[in-house]
């Protein structure tokens, strides 16, 4: 479990909930720093969600696993619609905030710790670019096979990511080249989050194009059935279970 000093995201979320200033700083391993949309995005009401998420949420069915739940915006929306939702996040303070806001089932749990103890799910939601929580292509395939076993036959995953190549930033393009030289996918970030004196451990966060996502998903038992996108780089891929023999886990 993250210590309070390492729980920068949770401290940010709780600060925003309590009305205190909250600025999320992203540090990348090439010494690049940026300020994210941060806490307001974690608390955004449905009307302020990205259009791709508002469209994708209509595809939810059955029992839901909300991965990387943050402040619980997805769970609160689905609870209001009568869905059973299990919300998980690695941040203890984020989970505390979820519970304070009325999320009924919020648990401190990493994506790598998801197991049959959580029960079976019909929909897995990874909004907020949380396909990135898979970290790298190899771990993504391993976890997708695990999720295949933990979900119902007609289950789907709503996985949000962004096309890393739709950028005009020279810093980001140079980072793509650095990643290629070290044998990583261009959009595989090595980052940590800072808030005040708190900072998370370094972690990998995987940003992929739709084509790269299809390549990663192949052979895991899932397929990309649909991509929901606009003119920007962000998109939600709808993953569904592949037909028997077409994509079964190896």
DSSP string over 101-130: TT-SSEEE--GGG--GGG--EEEEEETTTG
Q: How far apart are CA 21 and CA 169, in angstroms?
A: 28
pTM (predicted TM-score): 0.95
pLDDT digits (tens, 9 = 90+) for 156-189: 999 999 999 999 999 999 999 999 999 999 999 9
pLDDT digits (tens, 9 = 90+) for 223-249: 999 999 999 999 999 999 997 655 444
What residues are paired with 160 via a beta bridge? 236
Is residue 88 a contact partner of residue 70, using CB atoms and an 8 Å limit? Answer: no
C-alpha radius of gyration, the chain, whole number = 17
122 pLDDT above the threshold of 50: yes
16 pLDDT above the threshold of 50: yes
| Among candidate residues 30, 26, 32, the one with its CA nearest the CA of residue 178 | 30
Residue 240: the pLDDT is 98
Question: What is the CA angle 14-101-129, rounded to 5?
Answer: 70
**DSSP label at residue 29:** T
Residue 248: the pLDDT is 46
When the pLDDT of each residue in the chain is averaged and rounded to a whole number, the result is 96
pLDDT band at 37 (very low <50, low <70, confident <90, very high): confident
CATH topology assigned to domain 8-241 = Rossmann fold (3.40.50)
Residue 243: the pLDDT is 79
What lies within 8 Å, CB to CB, of 163 at 6+ separation is: 208, 209, 210, 233, 235
68 pLDDT above the threshold of 80: yes
Q: How far apart are CA 42 and CA 206, in angstroms?
A: 19
**Three-state SS at 38:** coil
String of b and e for 221-232 (b: at least 16 CB within 10 Å)?
bbbbeeebbeee
149 pLDDT above the threshold of 90: yes
81 pLDDT above the threshold of 60: yes
pLDDT digits (tens, 9 = 90+) for 183-218: 999 999 999 999 999 999 999 999 999 999 999 999
Provide the residue ranges of all domains of the chain, joining segments of one domain with +: 8-241
């Amino acid at each position: 479990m993250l210590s309070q000093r390492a729980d920068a995201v949770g401290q940010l979320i709780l600060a925003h909930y309590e009305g205190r200033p909250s600025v999320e700083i992203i540090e990348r391993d090439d010494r690049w720093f940026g300020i994210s949309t941060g806490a307001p995005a974690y608390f955004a009401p449905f009307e302020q969600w990205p259009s791709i998420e508002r469209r994708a949420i209509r595809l939810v069915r059955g029992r839901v696993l909300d991965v990387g739940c943050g402040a619980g915006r997805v769970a609160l929306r689905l609870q209001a619609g009568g869905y059973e939702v299990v919300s998980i996040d690695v941040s203890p303070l984020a989970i505390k905030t979820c519970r304070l806001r009325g999320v009924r089932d919020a648990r401190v749990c990493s994506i790598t710790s998801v197991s049959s103890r959580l029960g079976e799910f019909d929909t897995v939601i990874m909004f907020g670019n949380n396909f990135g929580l898979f970290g790298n292509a190899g771990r993504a395939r391993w976890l997708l096979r695990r999720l295949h076993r933990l979900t119902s036959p007609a289950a789907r995953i709503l996985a949000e990511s962004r096309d890393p190549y739709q950028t005009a930033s020279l810093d980001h393009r140079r980072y793509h080249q650095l990643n290629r030289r070290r044998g990583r996918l261009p959009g595989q970030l090595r980052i940590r989050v800072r808030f005040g004196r708190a900072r998370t451990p370094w972690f990998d966060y995987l940003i992929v194009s739709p084509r790269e996502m299809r390549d990663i998903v192949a052979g895991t038992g899932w397929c990309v059935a649909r991509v929901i996108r606009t003119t920007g780089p962000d998109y939600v891929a709808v993953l569904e279970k592949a037909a028997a023999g077409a994509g079964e886990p190896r």
